[in-house]
């Protein structure tokens, strides 16, 4: 004050101070959880708790009136203020994001910058080293503002704004598959080979059901189908895929089970059968002649 000049604020159990980022012309209501005890570099807003008649009451009297000790000063040292440039990111619903807010901020003096505050009225914003981790409320789709402060370590500070756009998840797309096998044969199919997700999310097979026969989901997300014994015809496997955001889609795998055709080839043509019959007839005639000859010899004797 003009009467007492600049003094040091004394902190104790009855005299305390807090600060919060705020912005020029606006400070949040006092008493909220977002106020940080002590003075934080880069914060615009200061909240004081002063004991009536205590060391920080400027009139020093217990009279039911607190006289504000004055303001907060910053020594001028020729430092140039840093510049916090605004940022924008887009994320999927229920997805957190790490924002490199300092990547496009600058300091004319070449000072190292650090993030001093990060606040939002929707979701949570937490400082993690030189980044800000933002988590939206569950199920929220829309636009959120994250305010942050930076410091150059030499008394210079600035405020930046991050616009976070939260969009809905696009479900994966399951494309139908077909395969042909022989009767009594099993088959393993990579049904995900032609399935896709517009958001680039990973997809997996969560279930599969066969119209006939049996099907199993393997650890590598392939499907193994086994038809009933001697079955021929078409079997359909219905399967469900899911992306990392919980979006699902249904696909169909059609398996055609075909009978095995046995082909008997006759390399000798029709003449082969005739030759065999003639040979058998010749053997029969020769055998008969021998028997008759033996009988004649027996009669003469």
| pLDDT tens per residue across span 63-88 | 777 666 566 665 556 788 899 999 99
pLDDT score for 30? 80
pLDDT score for 162? 97
> Domains plus CATH for the chain?
1-75 (no CATH), 87-167 (2.60.40.10), 177-258 (2.60.40.10)
| Confidence at 161, pLDDT banded by 50, 70, 90 | very high
pLDDT score for 301? 47
| Side-by-side strand order, sheet with 16-20 | 36-37, 16-20, 45-49
| Confidence at 223, pLDDT banded by 50, 70, 90 | very high
Pick from 7-16, 67-76, 240-249: least confident: 67-76
Task: Single out the residue of 203, 212, 191 nearest to residue 241, CA to CA.
Answer: 203
């Amino acid at each position: 004050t003009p009467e007492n000049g600049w003094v040091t604020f004394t902190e104790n159990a009855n005299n305390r101070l807090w600060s919060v980022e705020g912005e020029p012309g606006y400070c949040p209501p006092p008493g909220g959880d977002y106020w940080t005890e002590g003075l934080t570099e880069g914060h615009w807003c200061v909240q004081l708790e002063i004991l009536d008649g205590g060391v920080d009451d400027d009139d020093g009297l217990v009279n039911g009136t607190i006289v504000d000790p004055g303001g907060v000063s910053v020594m001028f040292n020729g430092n140039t203020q840093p510049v916090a440039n605004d940022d924008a990111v887009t994320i999927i619903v229920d997805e957190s994001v790490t924002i490199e807010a300092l990547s496009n901020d600058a300091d004319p003096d070449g000072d190292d910058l650090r993030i001093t505050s990060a606040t939002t009225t929707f979701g949570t914003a937490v400082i993690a080293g030189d980044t800000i981790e933002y988590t939206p409320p569950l199920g929220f789709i829309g636009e959120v503002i994250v305010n942050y402060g930076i410091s150059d370590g030499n008394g210079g500070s600035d405020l930046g704004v991050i616009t976070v756009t939260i969009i809905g998840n696009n479900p994966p797309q399951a494309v139908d598959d077909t395969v042909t096998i022989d009767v009594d044969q099993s088959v393993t199919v990579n049904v995900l080979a032609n399935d896709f997700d517009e958001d680039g999310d990973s997809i997996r097979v969560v279930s599969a059901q066969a119209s006939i026969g049996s099907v199993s989901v393997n650890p590598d997300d392939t499907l193994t189908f086994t038809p009933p014994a001697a079955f021929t015809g078409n079997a359909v496997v219905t399967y469900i895929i899911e992306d990392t955001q919980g979006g699902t889609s249904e696909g169909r795998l059609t398996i055609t089970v075909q009978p095995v055709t046995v082909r008997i080839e006759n390399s000798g043509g029709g003449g082969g059968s005739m030759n065999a019959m003639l040979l058998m007839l010749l053997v029969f005639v020769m055998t008969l002649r021998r028997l008759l000859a033996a009988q004649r010899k027996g009669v003469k004797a």
